[in-house]
Amino acid sequence: MENQVTPLYRKIIHIDMDAFYASIEQRDNPEYRGKPIAVGGSPEGRGGVVATASYEARKFGVRSAMPSKQAKQLCPEVIFVRPRFDVYKEVSQKIREIFHRYTDLIEPLSLDEAYLDVTHDKQAIGSAIEIATLIKLAIKEELQLTASAGVSINKFVAKIASDMQKPDGLTFIGPSRIQSFMENLGVEKFFGVGKVTASKMKNMGLHTGADLKRLTEDELVKHFGKAGHFFYKIVRGQDDRAVQPHRETKSVGAEDTFPYDLEDFSEMYEELVKIAPVVSERLKRHHLKGRTVTLKIKYSDFKVITRSQSFTQGIDDLDTIISAVKNLLEAVDMTNKKVRLLGISLSNFGEVVMREKKDEAPDQLKLF
């Protein structure tokens, strides 16, 4: 029996579906094709939020996490479409089945995004670029949807790469290119560098990865706290995080642990808008409605707080969940605070529509 040679580098693919919810709606409804659509709550409703916008709507500045009323102002012709999470979940599962043809090391971040480790792929293809190409082709031919792929030796660089040629792109950043790529990257493109941090960096004369690289690790920590350790490694293209296929099951909810600290409200809110659809879909899949919405926040010093809001009736709809966590987040004093984790969960299941298995435990998806 031949010994399997351990490669020098991992082969990581990041797959990100293009405008996933909106693309499914345009696929299934010919009258939406070529038109600006926004999947989410209506601007006439209370607290409506855009979950995903089609590329036609994005040209007008419409984007996810934006209030529906603002989207309507930016693009008066935008068509609002109610989400169909049962359909999105079904399509997501079919995409996952395509991934499993090549590897079982799959780390889903949400319904439309995942990391794949194809260092040792099932079909012995050997080339991560070829596997990414085959996956994109299968998604297009079998599901009539497009995906963008990033290929590199670690998760951080692969994720950046997948966003470079959207939609329907494929970007490979190999070991020999990583150093120069990271040096030329604008600081605002680094994960963990939001508006506040980017502004601070630019005021210090730090505009690119090369500028950051000139600072020692101690200097970065001095200016940016614990995130400085992360910046020091990542500007050098170093990311040792493994693709993690297993998920802990605890409750009906979802949470995302970031490899960096969030500092401004808009970043935190946008991340919560990404998490909320997963929570809503899971509630509906388990036929549950919760009367209590809980926002979980873990700070960079690992202190954890929770804030809850209760309703007289059980809820499972996306708009109400988003509105509740936004209110909860606004009520938290974020002065000089940096956030490492955000989570949403629902409990107090006063309305159980139907449980197919009474002993089936509610589950929680950890996104990262």
Distance between the two ends of the chain, CA-based, in angstroms?
36
| Pair of tokens at residue 166 | 């959207």
d(CA 119, CA 126) in angstroms, rounded, equals: 7
| Pair of tokens at residue 323 | 């509105």
DSSP H helices in the chain? 20-28, 55-58, 68-74, 85-99, 128-143, 155-162, 175-184, 195-203, 209-213, 217-224, 227-234, 265-285, 318-330
Q: Is 2 a catalytic residue?
A: no
d(CA 304, CA 324) in angstroms, rounded, equals: 19
Helix (H) or strand (E) holding 272: helix 265-285
Which of 240, 341, 346 shows the shortest CA–CA distance to 296? 341
The separation between CA 120 and the C-alpha centre of its own chain, rounded to angstroms, equals: 25
Helix (H) or strand (E) holding 143: helix 128-143
DSSP 356: S
From the list 56, 107, 113, 271, the catalytic residue is 113
- What residues act catalytically? 113
